[in-house]
Structure formats: structure tokens, C-alpha cells
Amino acid sequence: MKDLVDKIAALEKISKQLEPSVKDRNDLNREAQMFANSFLENLESYSAYNSQPPKFETLSLQKMPKTFSELLVAFNSEVVLKGIKPASGKHLGYVPGGGIYTAAIADFLAGVTNEYAGMYYASPGAVTIENELLNWMKDIFGFPSSAVGNLTSGGSIANLIALTAARDKYKIKNEKITKSVIYVSPQVHHCIHKALRIIGLEDIQIRFLELDENYKIITSNLIKYIEKDVLNNLNPFMVIASAGTTDTGAVDPLLEIGNIAKQHNLWYHVDGAYGGFFMLLAQKKHLFKGIHMADSLVVDPHKGLFLPYGLGAVLVKDKEAVFHSHHYTANYMQDAKGDLQINPSDVSPELTKHFRGLRLWLPLQLHGLKPFIASLEEKILLTTYFRNNLKQLGFALGPEPDLTVSYFWYPSKKVNQNEFNQKLLAFIHAHGDVFLSSTKINDRFVIRMAILSVRTKKKTIDSAVEMIAFCLKQTNEYFSTLS
């Protein structure tokens, strides 16, 4: 017994290294705070994109411990200063997570307290906060109080939960899979297709709907597809609309699609991961008319509410459809019976759940909603400002976007336009000051803007325009030397 006690004591002495003293914690906090302040104060001067790969030897795990100061140097040089900078206001390429500071403080508190947000029994306060946030979203989007929801890691898992609920509601399994039909826009986010594979619906029939000149679903064609499929003894069961597409910033005609879904008894899913929170703007509210008709809805607070990456949300009206896949019990969890609220673990694949809701609850409590709404409105105006400046430079523009994603290209008459714009984007990426991305629209290579960072301001757009003008000159010179 003495040997056992001695061995435990020896191990305890070593394991206590994982519990820094108050002094050590203060020193670590001070260094971390200095790093954070330096990063935020210098963020505007950093390039938004650096294509150099990180040095593997600097990031590889070492046998001997290093100091926090050494690790911060490595983190800064090989992580922060490489690739895309999502925290930067100059990240205009993909829809960015904003990374507001008070959300980071919330993550620190959630990590230190290590609250478990999977079940009410374990942490009634954390689950209450998460459910309160979901109730707040129900009010915004006109969902009934009886709807259930979950705060997820992002839109991909949120869409997965919604599509699984639709599958189980309509019992799409076995031989029924190949006869069932889903109707989507060609602009639907790729995570929808990924989710269908994951939930066993890879062999389902997908109808890609025609779009109008603004890349919105043409509802008359949707009706024709449904009626034709019914006549052919197929099983139409779901239609998916977008409240803000990632290629063109379009919001589908949600009310018309909702009426069609109701008429034909289809599950109506709306993916508003990017654009849903623009409904908070009075001047954009009309675009979201009919969103309350959805059977399920996805929105991403880490997009429209400027939070750090890692917070999506799903709302589903049919509780039983969600519970069918996710509600399980086990003997070792018998003490948790009789919880007073919906457990997040009962409406999600996650049992172990980080208290991610705090990163939204704390900023909303500290700042109120007004600054979030102002920031959304600012991004709408900056999108118009950017497009106006591009037009003056001679660029062709995509249709007027509903929200803050748009695209443009230079209509070169000297060489193939796709080739010209590919080279232009290569120069833009090499420059790196402001990050833009590309996409293809009707086989046309176009450059894409996505303006949603909380730190994107007018001077950011001015810098982007200056960079694009410089790179346009480089591109013209490049092709002149080839001719």
C-alpha cells in the first residue's frame, strides 16, 4: 500500500505542472494579452493573404517543452502571418467570421470554467443560455416557440441536422430513396450535397431548378417539376431555398417557394447561413418575407453577427423528427432524466458539447443589438460603394446583389476573358494586401467579393480599389509582352 501511495504522490507532483500557480497564470495572461493587443493594433497593416507555406519544423511537436514566449513567436510567424487572415477587414474573398473581441473573452471564460453544454442536468445555466439564444432567433424569424434548435459548429452541421430531420419525417429509406426527389438551386451551398451523402441519400434524385437573371429560383418551373415527378410516380419530399447565396448574394423568393411547398406537402428548408441575419435590417426585411414558413432554417452567427468561427444555428419546427435521430438514453446517464429544458444533445449528433453559446450571449448582453444592425447596414453600403468604384475602372459587374456578395470581371478584348481574369486574380493574390476569391458563373471566370467582416470599412474598400487598379495595369502589361 505504501508503494502505491508513494507512486501516486510522485505522479501528482509531475501532473501539477498542468495547473499553473496564480503568478504563472498572471504571467501567461499578461503575455497573451500583449500578443492580442499587438495583433489587433497591427492587423490593418498586415497583408490579407500570404501564400507561403508554414515551416513544418517550427510547428512540429517537440520532445522538450518550450516557453510561452517562444511558442507565441512560432504561432505568429507560421500561423497568423500565413494564408488568409480571417480576422482582417481586408478579407473580402470568402464570407468571413468577424472575430469580435468580446466573443473571444467569452470563449476564454467558457474554456476556463469548462462548462458542459450538452445536457441541462450537467449545466442548467449553460443550456438555459443556449436555449434562450435559440428562442431569440425564433422570434426574429417567426418560428413558433414549440420549435427546437441547436447551436452548432457552423452551417454544415446545422444543415446536416435539418436534412436528417426531413429524411426521418418523410421516412426516406431503403427502396424509397431512389424514387424520392429534392429540388434545389444550382447556387445551393455545397454542404447540402455533402450532407445528403452523409445521411445516406446519395442516390436520391436532385432537380436543379432554373434561375432568373438575378440567380433566384424561378418558381413556375418548380411547380412544373413537382407535377411531372408526381405523374411519374416519384416522391417529391423537399425543396431547399437560399437566403443569401455565396456566389451571387441572392435571396430566393421565399414566400412563393413556401406556398408551393405547403401546397405539395414538401419539407421546406431555408439555408440562411450567410444572409439570414440581414433580416434585422428594415430595408432588407422584404427579401425575407415567407421565411417563417420554413420547416427548418439555418443561420450562422459567426457570419451575420461577426463572431469568431465556430457558431452556427438550426431551427426545426418538428421536434419529433429531430428527436428520432438524436434522442438516446443510456444507463450511465440515468441521473439526467427529467430535465426541465430541451437538451442540446437530444437535437444534435454531439453529446460532448463546448459551451459555444457564451460567445454570442456575452456580446449581445454587453453591446446590445444596435451596433450589430449598424454593422450589417454598413456592409450593404460598402458593397454598393465597391461596385461603383469597379465600374469606374471599366469592370463588368454581376447583377445588383440582394446582400453583400457580388462579382466582377474585366471585359478584355485583347485576350480570352477567362484567361485575363485568372491572371488578374493571380496578381491580386501575389499582391496580398486585400484578399479576393473567384468563382465561375455560366462558365465565366469571375472575381468575387464577400463583404461581411466587422472590420471592413470605407478605407478598406479604397485600398482594394487601389490594389485592383495596380494589378489591372500589371495584367495588361503582361499580355502586351506576349503579343
Residue 131 grid cell? 436555449
- Please state the rounded mean pLDDT for residues 110-134: 92
* Residue 332 pLDDT exceeds 50: no
d(CA 80, CA 68): 16
Helix 358-367 × helix 101-113 angle, to 10°: 130
User: Residue 60: helix, strand or coil by DSSP?
Assistant: coil
Across the chain, mean pLDDT equals 92
- For residue 155, the cross-strand partners are none
Domains of the chain plus CATH, in order, are 108-367 (3.40.640.10), 370-482 (3.90.1150.10)
Per-residue confidence at 64, pLDDT binned at 50, 70, 90? confident
Phi, psi of 205 (to 5 degrees): -90, 125
How many whole angstroms separate alpha carbon 46 and alpha carbon 82? 10
pTM equals 0.92
> Beta-carbon neighbour count of residue 124 at 10 Å?
13
Q: Would the pLDDT of 82 be above 80? A: yes
Q: Cα dihedral angle (151, 153, 158, 164), rounded to 10 degrees?
A: -110
> For 124, how many CA atoms within 13 A lie in the half-sphere containing its CB?
6
Confidence of residue 419 (pLDDT cuts 50, 70, 90): very high
For residue 190, name the pLDDT band (cuts at 50, 70, 90). confident
Quick one: cell of 296? 427548418
Least confident interval from 76-85, 297-306, 448-457: 76-85
Angle formed at CA 239 by CA 236 and CA 244, multiple of 5 degrees: 165
Does 311 score more than 90 pLDDT? yes
Residue 329: predicted pLDDT: 66
